Amino acid sequence: MTAAATPSRRRRLFRSNRRVPPTLFLFPVPALVLYVTFFVIPTLQTFQYSTTNWNGYSADYDVLGLANFQRALTGDLLFTNALTNNLKFMVVVVIGQTFLGLLLAVLLVRNTRTTIFLRALYFFPTILSSVSVGFIWKFVYDPNFGVINSTLGALGLDGLKSPFLGAEGQAIYWLAITQIWFHAGMMVVIFIAGLQAIPAELYEAARVDGASKWRQFRSITWPLIAPAMSIVVAYTTIQSFKAFDIVLSISGNPPSSSLDILSTRIYSSFANAEFGYAATQSVLFIAFIAVITFVFRRFLRLIQGSES
């Protein structure tokens, strides 16, 4: 009887241990309350106020429907200029950070003392604050006392000097270089994690078959790095739209028209007490990020699918 009863007791104990105490369901409640209070409700209110002319202070406002959206997309040259600048900035940042991050990751994927030191060196800028990075590069780009123009002058290459941020058509690209320098180290870490997850046996088999380094990269590395690539593209796209603090620190407030991007344009609308219109711009801001990230990821899948 004792031997037969022991398994049944164990089963009862196992079942009792699997029961979840009801109090455990209370643990997510504080986080859920904070999430709903500070994210869900403000997001819904943003959509609500985007159809009004609310100034942010008075209790009264008029419902305008889609008039704010029409103004932003067809009648506001400042918003159109900011969107154009942001798209230029995004393309350079996404391509530059992705290409540079993948190149450095391929070169530094092996775990040696030198590669570990270089990884830490390239990652260092990402731990700096955006304001610090902005002031560093503002000094680098200074047309009179900056490092670049001073070096060119010392080498007798005065003809290559540039106003950098003062050049109307070039300023946004110089800002993109700053952003790439700031975040490329993070992309290196993500790509190295993706590369080290690829089984080494695949490369050994490819070498036995006589595949070149380029062929190994196209047939093995490129298709299998897709998850890391998707993370990098999504991250860099979002960061290129959120470069608010680095723009203000490097250009000043308000930024010049050549450095004005969507996040700084939204800030200017809030500062001018156009809360309803700023909410409209914020909704468009979210939509642009979602659509562009989706398009980029689909494009990458098509490329990697055709290459494989």
Task: Report pLDDT for 59.
Answer: 86
Give tens-digit pLDDT for 11-54.
555 555 567 788 888 889 999 999 999 999 999 999 999 999 99
**Closest by Cα among 186, 220, 230 to 200:** 220
Superfamily of domain 79-307: MetI-like (1.10.3720.10)
Contact predicate 134/245, CB 8 Å: yes
Q: What is the pLDDT of residue 296?
A: 81
Mean pLDDT of successive 10-residue segments in the chain (308 residues)?
54 60 87 94 93 90 93 92 94 94 93 92 92 92 90 88 88 94 94 92 90 88 88 89 90 87 93 93 92 84 66
CA distance 214 to 130: 37
Domain extents in the chain: 79-307
Q: What pLDDT shows up at residue 80?
A: 94
Query: Which one, of 36, 90, 65, 26, lies nearest residue 285 by Cα?
Result: 90
Asked if residues 171 and 256 have their Cβ atoms less than 8 Å apart, the reply is yes
Q: For 255, which DSSP code?
A: P
Query: Rounded to whole angstroms, how far apart are CA atoms 142 and 165?
Result: 8
**pTM to 2 decimal places:** 0.83
Residue 63 CB neighbours (<10 A): 11
Checking 64-73 for CB contacts under 8 A at 24+ apart, the result is 64/276, 68/276, 68/277, 68/279, 68/280, 69/280, 69/283, 69/284, 71/277, 71/280, 72/277, 72/280, 72/281, 72/284, 73/284
The SS3 call for residue 92 is helix
pLDDT score, position 181: 95
**What pLDDT is attached to residue 12?**
57
DSSP structural state of residue 59: S
